């Protein structure tokens, strides 16, 4: 014969379980008295895969929102962190396998402050700064081992300042001055061993004036003069 107390306990357990499940389901996708979204919201694609999950307060996103691709629900492809009383949010974008690709701050829909970009293995590839959605101030690009390959300065979306490029061993190979996105001013180009190869000035993207060319760190014109002098001396000696 079935134990009455045990039966009552089992029935009570399942009653609480289903009540709890129903209660949790009712807490999703709710509106407040002002017909604004409130609490946790969870949406799905037509194929029943999750689209996003996040929390609302007074109709506005707050906290962490996770977004998923229509083909994969294991990892989010984007995470957005919202802040109360602010139009700014921190965003991160990922591959389908969960590897970080990009992260930074949006103000409205414009990039602002420092943004980072990553190689497929998660190593930092570059970082740049934005103002009102435009590149502004420093930009750094890295080799996979972390060595800097390029350093530039931007102003309102345009190169403005000295742009330096480096070989994988850290040797400076190029140093060019820009203004308003165009080569303007002094430029220097180097050999892979660090010796100066050529230098001169640009104006509106075109080379102007006298450019000096070097061989083994010495001005080529001086080398030519030495060769001519040596040849002349040998002829005179003959």
What pLDDT, in 10s, does the model give residues 155-193?
Answer: 999 999 999 999 999 999 999 999 999 999 999 999 999
The DSSP secondary-structure symbol of 231 reads H
* Any domain includes 92: yes
- For 23, phi and psi rounded to 5 degrees? -65, -45
Please give the tally of structural domains in the chain: 1
Structure tokens at 94: 């990922």
Pairing of strands 182-190, 196-203: antiparallel
Q: What is the extent of the structural domain holding 42? A: 27-108
* Any domain includes 235: no
* Any domain includes 207: no
* Any domain includes 184: no
Q: Given this model, what pLDDT does residue 92 score? A: 98
* Any domain includes 80: yes
- Between 85 and 14, name the one with better pLDDT: 85
Q: Given this model, what pLDDT does residue 237 score? A: 54
* Any domain includes 51: yes
**The pLDDT of residue 16 is above 90:** no
**The pLDDT of residue 222 is above 60:** no
* Any domain includes 40: yes
* Any domain includes 139: no
* Proportion of the chain above pLDDT 90, given as a percent: 76
Predicted TM-score of the model (pTM): 0.78
Q: Given this model, what pLDDT does residue 3 score? A: 52
- With beta carbons less than 8 A apart as the criterion, state whether 160 and 153 touch: yes
Q: Per mean pLDDT, which range of 87-91, 100-104, 146-150, 230-234 is the poorest?
A: 230-234
């Amino acid at each position: 014969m079935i134990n009455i107390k045990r039966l009552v306990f089992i029935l009570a357990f399942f009653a609480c379980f289903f009540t709890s499940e129903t209660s949790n389901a009712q807490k999703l996708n709710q509106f407040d008295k002002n017909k604004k979204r409130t609490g946790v919201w969870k949406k799905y694609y037509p194929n029943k895969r999750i689209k996003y999950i996040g929390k609302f307060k007074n109709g506005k996103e707050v906290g962490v929102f996770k977004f998923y691709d229509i083909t994969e629900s294991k990892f989010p492809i984007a995470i957005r962190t919202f802040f109360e009383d602010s139009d700014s949010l921190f965003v991160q974008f990922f591959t389908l396998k969960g590897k970080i690709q990009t992260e930074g701050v949006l103000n409205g829909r414009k990039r602002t402050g420092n943004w980072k970009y990553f190689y497929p293995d998660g190593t930092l590839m570059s970082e740049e700064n934005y103002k009102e959605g435009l590149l502004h101030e420093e930009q750094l690009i890295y080799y996979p081992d972390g060595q800097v390959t390029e350093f530039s300065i931007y102003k309102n979306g345009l190169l403005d300042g000295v742009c330096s490029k480096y070989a994988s061993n850290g040797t400076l190979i190029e140093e060019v001055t820009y203004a308003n996105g165009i080569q303007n001013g002094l430029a220097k180009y180097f050999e892979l061993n660090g010796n100066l190869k050529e230098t001169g000035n640009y104006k509106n993207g075109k080379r102007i004036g006298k450019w000096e060319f070097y061989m083994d760190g010495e001005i080529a014109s001086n080398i030519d003069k030495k060769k001519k002098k040596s040849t002349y001396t040998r002829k005179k000696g003959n």
